[in-house]
Each structure stands twice: as structure tokens, then as C-alpha cells.
Amino acid sequence: MLETFETVAKAVADPSRLRILKLLEGGELCVCQITTVLDLAAATVSKHLALLKTAGLLQQRREGKWVYYRLADRALTPHAPAFLSLVAAALTGDPTIAADRALLARVNAVPLARICAQGRSALQDDPSPLCCGSAS
């Protein structure tokens, strides 16, 4: 039981994984959408997602060539629900989380195939800033 607790705690302790969990509070997302918002390499995001899934915090489904993740809606590990509740209540006023959500709204306005093919460059036609008050 202690090992399971440690696995979940370590999964939640990373800032990028916390950002992923906060993004998924709004619902299911494709790996491409998460990668675009976080502006990390796909391999890095995949490793983070795998750790969160192993910890029982996420569930996934495949649809064609895309893989979608969502917060676990059932207790996959004994400690996952408590940690998900903690994360849900945390960081409500955090500027990074707010910027991620604003960027996700822009990402969601672009067709998924375009986001998956072009990443952040798919957003360049949009004049609003990509992050933190300045265009990338």
C-alpha cells in the first residue's frame, strides 16, 4: 500500500504532470492537444502521461491514430481519488494554469488534425499571444 501511495504522490509532484491534470479537468484531450499547450516534445508528454496512467490518475482510449486521455473516473489505485480531489482544489489562482487554460481554448478552436500535424504553428494565424503575454 505504501508503494502505491508513493507512486501516486511522485506522479503528482512534477509541475508538468500537475499541468496535465489541471488541463484534463476540462475533459478528455488528445495527446497532440496536451503537447501543444505544454510546448514539450511528444516523447516527454508521453512519458508524463504514462506515469500518470500507471499511478491510476488517468484513463486512455484510442480512436484511429489518436490517443485521448481523461482523468480517471473510477478508483484505479486506492490513493488516486484522494490525489485527484486535492489537485482539483489546488492552484485555482495560479497564472501558469490560467495561461494553459487560455491556450487550450485556442487549441480547441483549431481542427484536431491540424493541431496534430502542425502543433503550435497551427496557432500562428491567430493574433492573440501563445503564452504569458508574448507571441512565440
Note the pTM of the prediction, 2 decimals: 0.86
CATH architecture designation of domain 2-71+78-119: Orthogonal Bundle (1.10)
Angle at 21 between CA 5 and CA 24, to 5 degrees: 135
- Give the whole-number percent of the chain exceeding pLDDT 70: 91
Picking from 65, 74, 66, 54, the residue whose alpha carbon sits closest to that of residue 9 is 54
**Is the pLDDT score of 27 beyond 70?**
yes
- Give the whole-number percent of the chain exceeding pLDDT 90: 60
CA–CA dist 67, 63 (Å, integer)? 6
* Least confident interval from 12-21, 46-55, 93-102, 117-126: 117-126
For 79-112, what is each residue's pLDDT tens digit?
888 889 899 998 888 999 999 999 999 999 999 9
| Residue 42 main-chain phi, psi, to 5 deg | -55, -40
Residue ranges per domain, the chain? Answer: 2-71+78-119
CB 114 within 8 A of CB 106: no
pLDDT at res. 65:
85
**Is the pLDDT score of 6 beyond 80?**
yes
**Is the pLDDT score of 38 beyond 90?**
yes
Sign of CA dihedral 17, 21, 27, 28: positive
